[in-house]
């Protein structure tokens, strides 16, 4: 059975789950995309495969309108063949050692994704661990930033539920211990 853990952050709930985000049925799942919204490997490749043939056209339309999506930005498309109704595409920073604005861009990627969800009247959103794969952001540095933004949105009543999908038991364990450190004393 896959691991999961729930943190109560009143009035909202944060769930960490080990598994495949493409199977999730939240109002929106977040994609760790690139600035061209061109698809790629990792979770981006998995989401493009699962969403089906209409997604690339929707991405091209957005890029035609805005040029490129900078790191820290987020845009919405339909979910097409996914169980989730929407996909929020965000671009995390490429890790270059930490002194090129990576923490601010990572924080913005999560915050802008949440902002798109709120603008669209959504209540539940599911994230992958943005930037911690191909883009090389160290998990122990990414986790407090990501979890902090999520906790703020939940405590502020912006969203009812946020789920964070971790790929594999090792990643789940790292994120779980970061969350336990941050949310000590919270009933779960
Ligand atoms: N469900 C949940 N998490 C997943 C899944 C999945 N199906 N597949 C991978 N992960 P990455 P990035 C995890 O590399 O670092 C793409 O080519 C993965 O184990 O997908 O932001 C884009 O086009 C890792 O922990 O995203 C960009 O060019 C996390 O998702 C670039 O990669 C993020 O890893 C973005 O790199």
What digits encode the pLDDT tens for the residues 6-60?
999 999 999 999 999 999 999 999 999 999 999 999 999 999 999 999 999 999 9
Query: Quick check: 1 pLDDT over 80?
Result: no
Q: Does the CB atom of residue 33 touch ligand 1 within 6 A? A: yes
Domain ranges of the chain: 4-182
CA 31 to ligand 1 center in whole angstroms: 8
Q: Model-level pTM greater than 0.95?
A: yes
94 touches ligand 1 (CB under 6 Å) = no
Ligand 1: which atom is nearest the Cα of residue 168? 19
SS3 129: coil
CATH, domain 4-182, list 2.60.120.10, 3.40.220.10, 3.40.190.10, 3.40.50.970? 3.40.220.10
Is 32 touching ligand 1 by the criterion CB < 6 Å?
A: yes
Is the minimum distance from the CB of 23 to ligand 1 under 6 angstroms?
A: no
Confidence of residue 72 (pLDDT cuts 50, 70, 90): very high
The pLDDT, as a whole number, for residue 46 is 98
For the segment 145-170, the average pLDDT, to the nearest whole number, is 98
Nearest to 58 by CA among 41, 80, 73: 80
Give catalytic status of residue 44 as yes or no.
yes
Using alpha carbons, list the distances in angstroms from residue 7 to 36, 87, 142, 146.
35, 24, 19, 15
CA separation for the pair 90, 114 (Å, rounded): 10
């Amino acid at each position: 059975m896959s691991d999961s853990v729930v943190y109560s952050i009143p009035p909202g709930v944060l769930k960490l789950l080990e598994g495949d985000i493409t199977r999730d049925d939240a109002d929106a799942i977040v994609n760790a995309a690139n600035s061209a919204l061109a698809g790629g490997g990792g979770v981006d490749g998995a989401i493009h495969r699962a969403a089906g043939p209409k997604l690339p056209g929707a991405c091209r339309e957005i890029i035609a309108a805005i040029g490129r999506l900078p790191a820290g930005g987020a845009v919405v498309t339909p979910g097409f063949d996914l169980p989730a109704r929407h996909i929020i595409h965000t671009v995390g920073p490429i890790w270059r050692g930490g002194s090129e604005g990576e923490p601010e861009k990572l924080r913005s990627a999560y915050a802008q994704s949440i902002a798109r969800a709120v603008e669209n009247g959504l209540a539940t959103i599911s994230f992958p661990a943005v930037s911690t794969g191909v883009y090389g952001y160290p998990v122990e540095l990414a986790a407090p930033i990501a979890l902090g933004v999520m906790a703020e949105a939940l405590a502020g009543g912006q969203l009812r539920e946020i789920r964070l999908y971790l790929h594999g038991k090792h990643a789940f364990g790292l994120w779980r211990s970061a969350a336990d450190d941050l949310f000590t004393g919270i009933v779960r």
